[in-house]
Amino acid sequence: MKFSNILTSTVSLLVLGATVEGHFSHSRNDAVGPKRPFRPLPPSHLRKRVCHVRSHGDSSYDDAEFILSALKECNHGGKVVFDADKEYTIGTALDLTFLKHIDLEILGRITFTPDTDYWQANSFRHTFQNATTFFQLGGEDVNVYGGGTLDGNGQVWYDLYAEDPLILRPILFGVIGLHGGTIGPLKLRYSPQWYQLVANSTDVLFDGIDISGYSSSENEAKNTDGWDTYRSHNIVIQNSVINNGDDCVSFKPNSSEILVQNLHCNGSHGISVGSLGQYKGEVDIVKNVLVYNISMYNASDMARIKVWPGIDSAMSEDLQGGGGLGAVSNITYDKMYIDNVDWAIEVTQCYGQKNLTLCNEFPSNLTISDVHFRNFYGTTSDKNDPDVGTVVCSSPDVCSDIYAENINVLSPSGTNDFVCTNVDESLLQVNCTSG
């Protein structure tokens, strides 16, 4: 592969104080609705200059240095434009955590090279579940928008993962250490693994994200979560369409004050708390989460809480765990529509452990409390008919105050039965058939 060392970018200055072409010079809170963020989002500063990113126009050349040069030129008060008539190729891992008061307007297409050897050796490694990212975008007051496309060239990764499940597949969009920012509208396509990781970040709004990308071979596109939040707080995810093969949104350890609303999810594993308790000696907290107005189609779950038991367990060759500590609290799912979904609600503290007797003998070390499921309607798939939901705790000592009300969900045969174990059934306004 050929690479260039040219660092040139075209820079044009706007009149000082003129209106910026971008739309993020006011409060981000004005864009959030109908529910409001847990805490006000910080305002974005005015952008006063524009840099246009050059492109070789040839996918055999790496445009990473053009991109890095433009970002440095327009950092601290500018806007970087990826032009609509250009295609950009990235073959170098980019550390973009130095950004401050800058917009990235992506109008064209950005594609990451399919060099799996390079990316496994050079992508950025993070602490949770061997996660890696093509790049890491962070800093303060950063907005990324424009409706353009980021393409992860995922097919080569889907095929490689089928041969070796221990490879490190990069996440398409890494928001790492960002404090104050807006992401979207954007199109995300063919991520090798999760589409977005939000780690060690605060006060970020995702708005208008279009996610899609399936395998064209017999090898599935696996673990393609839409969002995973990790050690992050006051995050808003809204007004987006997600077509994927794993969690639509997942709240990983130490996520709090998360608002998710107005999503269309298709083919996913639901909107999930967890998985939690994977690592012994670590404390996983997820609290203060509101999920509102979601449509879920052709999925395994709608609302899901998944916790590892207190004993070593194996979900798959590349995913094992159990025995961690922590708590899940103040979680609300409200106004959920489902169509052809296996479970409307799934709560499990036996994630990764198929031996339920062993799971109950070594119950989870995490507590689940103050959870509310409200206003669910629609029809499940026939996979678990006649049951439409399952709330199974490994011990009544670690589950409390789990509520379900106005759950108008039917199985194909017309039933609305729930599997309930080690939980206070008086708080569940559903038909518990076992316990």
pLDDT over 50 at 95, yes or no: yes
pLDDT tens for 152-200 read 999 999 999 999 999 999 999 999 999 999 999 999 999 999 999 999 9
pLDDT over 70 at 11, yes or no: no
Classify residue 200: in a domain, yes or no. yes
What is the per-residue pLDDT for 304? 98
- Segment 387-415 shows an average pLDDT of 95
Preceding amide of 253 cis, omega within 30: no
CA angle 298–233–72, rounded 5-degree value:
100
pLDDT tens for 31-50 read 999 999 999 999 999 999 99
Task: Quote the CA–CA distance of 270 and 250 in Å, as a whole number.
Answer: 8
pLDDT over 80 at 424, yes or no: yes
Classify residue 376: in a domain, yes or no. yes
pLDDT over 50 at 3, yes or no: no
What is the per-residue pLDDT for 1? 39
Output the DSSP codes for 268-324. S--EEEEEE--STT-EEEEEEEEEEEEEEEEEEEEEEEEE--SS-EEEETTEEE---
265 versus 17: the higher-pLDDT residue is: 265
What is the per-residue pLDDT for 62? 98
DSSP for residue 195: S
Residue in the structure block whose two tokens are 């039917």: 410
pLDDT tens for 195-240 read 999 999 999 999 999 999 999 999 999 999 999 999 999 999 999 9
pLDDT tens for 283-298 read 999 999 999 999 999 9
pLDDT over 60 at 261, yes or no: yes
Where does the pLDDT of residue 24 fall: very low under 50, low under 70, confident under 90, or very high at 90 and above?
very low
DSSP for residue 86: -
What is the per-residue pLDDT for 364? 86
Task: Quote the CA–CA distance of 139 and 160 in Å, as a whole number.
Answer: 33
Q: β-strand 313-316 against 325-348: which pairing, if any?
A: unpaired
The residues annotated with a catalytic role in the active site are 269
pLDDT tens for 333-378 read 999 999 999 999 999 988 878 777 888 888 889 999 999 999 999 9
Where does the pLDDT of residue 309 fall: very low under 50, low under 70, confident under 90, or very high at 90 and above?
confident
| CB contact set of 117 (below 8 Å; sequence gap of 6+) | none
What is the per-residue pLDDT for 276? 94
Residue in the structure block whose two tokens are 């590349």: 318
pLDDT tens for 110-126 read 999 999 999 999 999 99
Q: How many domains does the chain have?
A: 1
Rounded alpha-carbon distances, angstroms, from residue 401 to 328, 391, 396: 11, 12, 11
397 versus 151: the higher-pLDDT residue is: 151
Classify residue 71: in a domain, yes or no. no
CATH number (domain holding residue 238): 2.160.20.10
What is the per-residue pLDDT for 130? 87
Classify residue 276: in a domain, yes or no. yes
Q: How many CA atoms lie within 13 A of 400 on its CB side?
A: 5
Whole-structure pTM value: 0.93
- Decide if 345 contacts 376 (C-beta within 8 A): yes
Domain holding 98, by residue range, is 93-434
Classify residue 31: in a domain, yes or no. no
What is the per-residue pLDDT for 16? 25
- Segment 259-267 shows an average pLDDT of 98
What is the per-residue pLDDT for 412? 97
Classify residue 206: in a domain, yes or no. yes
What is the per-residue pLDDT for 363? 84
- CA dihedral 252→256→262→263, nearest 10 degrees, is 0
Classify residue 375: in a domain, yes or no. yes
Task: Quote the CA–CA distance of 268 and 27 in Å, as a whole number.
Answer: 33
Average pLDDT, the chain: 92
Q: Which two tokens stand for residue 406?
A: 């106005």
What is the per-residue pLDDT for 128? 85
Task: Quote the CA–CA distance of 411 and 244 in Å, as a whole number.
Answer: 24
Classify residue 54: in a domain, yes or no. no
